[in-house]
Amino acid sequence: MTGNLYSPEILRLAMIAGAHQRLATPDASVSARTPVCGSSITTDIAMDGDGRVAAVGFDLSACAFGQAAAGLFAQGAVGRTAEQLALAAEGLAAWLGGYRAVPPDWPQMEALVPARQRSARHEAILLAFRSGASAAQRAMLGRG
């Protein structure tokens, strides 16, 4: 079961998340935890002068799917706005929950297809996207 569930692509993406350490001077940070499985994350976001993500960092404790989702988030977040991150988080939640037929437009999102039928993994998968979107929104509010 775990051989099919944790594909080489999931494990590769999980390693990417580990390469994104906490930022020394983030514009905003958000911590979140899921009570379902105990996964937790602190997401740091740095924004550029145009209101787009310049850098992402994490302190993460999650299953391989949660780590892979964080790796996906980190790879795709740079250059996006807070609004785009919020739409991606909403789209991912809708797709995982079966309310949307296709995943959000995000690079390599198809890697998470095996987890769609594993509802116990959904909250861990959503951690990076939700906390990243919240951190970007906080960063933008701090500029106002």
Percent with pLDDT over 90 in the chain: 76
| 86: pLDDT strictly greater than 50 | yes
Which range, of 6-10, 107-111, 136-140, averages the lowest pLDDT? 6-10
Strand order in the sheet with 53-61: 28-33, 40-47, 53-61
pLDDT of residue 18: 86
Residue 7 CA, distance from chain mean position:
18
The C-alpha atoms of residue 108 and residue 120 are separated, in whole angstroms, by 21
Output 142 or 78, whichever has higher pLDDT. Answer: 78
- What residues pair up with 28 in beta bridges, in sequence order? 45
pLDDT of residue 2: 46
- What residues pair up with 41 in beta bridges, in sequence order? 32, 60
The dihedral formed by the CA atoms of 116, 30, 108 and 80, expressed in degrees to the nearest 10: 130
Name every residue whose Cβ is closer than 8 Å to that of residue 5 and which is 6 or more positions away in sequence.
114, 115, 118
CATH 3.90.1010.10 is held by the domain 2-143: yes
Output 142 or 106, whichever has higher pLDDT. Answer: 106
Q: Which amino acid is at 49?
A: G
pLDDT of residue 36: 83
> Which sequence spans correspond to the domains of the chain?
2-143
Model's pTM, two decimal places?
Answer: 0.92
| Per-residue buried b or exposed e for 14-43, using 16+ beta carbons within 10 Å of the residue's own CB | bebbeebeebeebbbbbebbbeebebbbbb
